[in-house]
Structure 1
Amino acid sequence: MRTEDVDLLIIGAGMAGLTAAARAARNGLTVTTTEIGAEVGGSALFAGYAWTAPSHDAMDRHNPRGDRALKRALVDRFADGTSWIRSLGVEVKDSQRVLSFGRGHQFDTHHYLDTCRRILQGSGELLLKTDTERLLIEDGVVTGAEVKSTDGMRRQVRARSTLLATGGFQGDPALRTAHVHPHADRMELRSNPHSQGGGYRLASQASAATGHNDAGFYGHLIPSGIPFADPADFVDMSLYYSEHALLFNLHNERFVDETLGDHLTAMALLEQPEGRGLLIADARVFRDWIVGSYVEGAVAVDKFALASKRGGRVGLAEDLEELAYLPAEWGYRGNDIRDAVTRLNECASAGLNPLPSRELDPLPLIEPPYYVMETVPAITFPFHGVRIDDRARVLREDGKPLGGLLAAGSDTGGLWHRAYAGGLASALVFGLTAADTAAALARST
Structure 2
Amino acid sequence: MGAEDVGLLIIGAGMAGLTAGARAVRNGLSVVVVEISGDVGGSARFAGYAWTAPSHDVMDQHNPNGDVALRRALVDRFADGISWIRSVGMEVKDAQPILGFGRGHQFDTNHYVDTCRRLILEGGGELLLETDTEHLLVEDGAVVGADLRSADGTRRRIRAGATLLATGGFQGSLSLRTARVHPDADRMPLRSNPHSQGGGYRLATGAGAATGLDDAGFYGHLIPSGIPFADPVDFVDMSLYYSEHALLLNLNNERFTDETLGDHLTAMALLEQRESRGLLIADARVFRDWIVGSYVEGAVAVDKFALACKRGGRAGVAEDLDELAWLPEEWGYRGNAVRDTVKRYNEQAAAGLHLTPGRKLDRLPLEEPPYYVIETVPAITFPFHGVRIDGQARVLREDGQPIGGLLAAGSDTGGLWHRAYAGGIASALVFGLTAADTATRTARHT
TM-score of Structure 1 vs Structure 2, range by shorter chain: over 0.9
Partner of 1:342: 343
Letter in 1 for 2:77: R
Letter in 1 for 2:401: K
Q: Is the 8 A contact 1:259 1:360 kept in 2?
A: yes
User: What does residue range 69-84 of structure 1 map to in structure 2 within 5 Å?
Assistant: 69-84=69-84
User: What does residue range 154-233 of structure 1 map to in structure 2 within 5 Å?
Assistant: 154-233=155-234
SS in 1 for 2:289: helix
Letter in 2 for 1:440: R
Partner of 1:379: 380
Letter in 2 for 1:313: R
Partner of 2:108: 108
Paired with 1:2 and 1:180, the residues of 2 have a C-alpha distance of: 40
Paired with 2:104 and 2:412, the residues of 1 have a C-alpha distance of: 22
1:116-142, CA deviations, whole angstroms, 9 ceiling, x for partnerless residues?
101101111000000000000000000
Paired with 1:224 and 1:369, the residues of 2 have a C-alpha distance of: 21
Aligned-pair CA distance for 1:359: 1.0
Larger CA deviation: 253-262 vs 348-357: 348-357
1:137 aligns with 2:138: yes
SS in 2 for 1:335: helix
Partner of 1:62: 62
1:34 aligns with 2:34: yes
1:235 aligns with 2:236: yes
Aligned-pair CA distance for 1:352: 2.6
1:160-195, CA deviations, whole angstroms, 9 ceiling, x for partnerless residues?
100000000000000000000001000000000000
TM-score (normalizing by structure 2):
0.99
Partner of 1:402: 403
Partner of 1:23: 23
Q: Is the 8 A contact 1:353 1:362 kept in 2?
A: no
Aligned-pair CA distance for 1:348: 1.2
Partner of 1:285: 286
Partner of 2:46: 46
Partner of 1:4: 4
Letter in 2 for 1:316: V
SS in 1 for 2:312: coil
Aligned-pair CA distance for 1:2: 4.3
1:237-267, CA deviations, whole angstroms, 9 ceiling, x for partnerless residues?
0000101000000011100000000000000
Letter in 2 for 1:86: R
Letter in 1 for 2:52: T
1:300 aligns with 2:301: yes
Paired with 2:133 and 2:394, the residues of 1 have a C-alpha distance of: 19
Paired with 1:168 and 1:174, the residues of 2 have a C-alpha distance of: 13
Aligned-pair CA distance for 1:358: 1.2
Aligned-pair CA distance for 1:6: 0.5
Partner of 1:126: 127
Letter in 2 for 1:245: A
1:41-100, CA deviations, whole angstroms, 9 ceiling, x for partnerless residues?
000000000000001011011001000000000000000000000011100000000002
Partner of 2:313: 312
Paired with 2:376 and 2:353, the residues of 1 have a C-alpha distance of: 27
Paired with 1:199 and 1:237, the residues of 2 have a C-alpha distance of: 29
SS in 2 for 1:188: coil
Aligned-pair CA distance for 1:353: 3.8
Q: Is the 8 A contact 1:161 1:404 kept in 2?
A: yes
SS in 2 for 1:222: strand
Paired with 2:227 and 2:2, the residues of 1 have a C-alpha distance of: 47
Partner of 1:274: 275
1:141-172, CA deviations, whole angstroms, 9 ceiling, x for partnerless residues?
00000001101111001001000000000000
Letter in 2 for 1:234: F
SS in 2 for 1:212: coil
Q: Is the 8 A contact 1:2 1:154 kept in 2?
A: no
1:200-224, CA deviations, whole angstroms, 9 ceiling, x for partnerless residues?
0000100100111200000000000
Q: Is the 8 A contact 1:51 1:425 kept in 2?
A: yes
Structure 2: runs of 5+ lacking an equivalent: none
SS in 2 for 1:329: helix
RMSD (Å), alpha carbons:
0.6
Q: Is the 8 A contact 1:161 1:438 kept in 2?
A: yes
Letter in 1 for 2:229: F
Q: Is the 8 A contact 1:49 1:424 kept in 2?
A: yes
Paired with 2:3 and 2:397, the residues of 1 have a C-alpha distance of: 28
Letter in 2 for 1:435: A
Paired with 2:354 and 2:181, the residues of 1 have a C-alpha distance of: 32
Aligned-pair CA distance for 1:351: 2.1
SS in 1 for 2:103: strand
SS in 1 for 2:156: strand
Partner of 1:96: 96
Letter in 1 for 2:239: S
TM-score (normalizing by structure 1):
0.99
Aligned-pair CA distance for 1:110: 1.0
SS in 1 for 2:71: helix
Letter in 2 for 1:362: R
Paired with 2:144 and 2:313, the residues of 1 have a C-alpha distance of: 51
1:408-434, CA deviations, whole angstroms, 9 ceiling, x for partnerless residues?
000000000000000000000000000
Paired with 2:126 and 2:353, the residues of 1 have a C-alpha distance of: 62
Aligned-pair CA distance for 1:399: 0.4
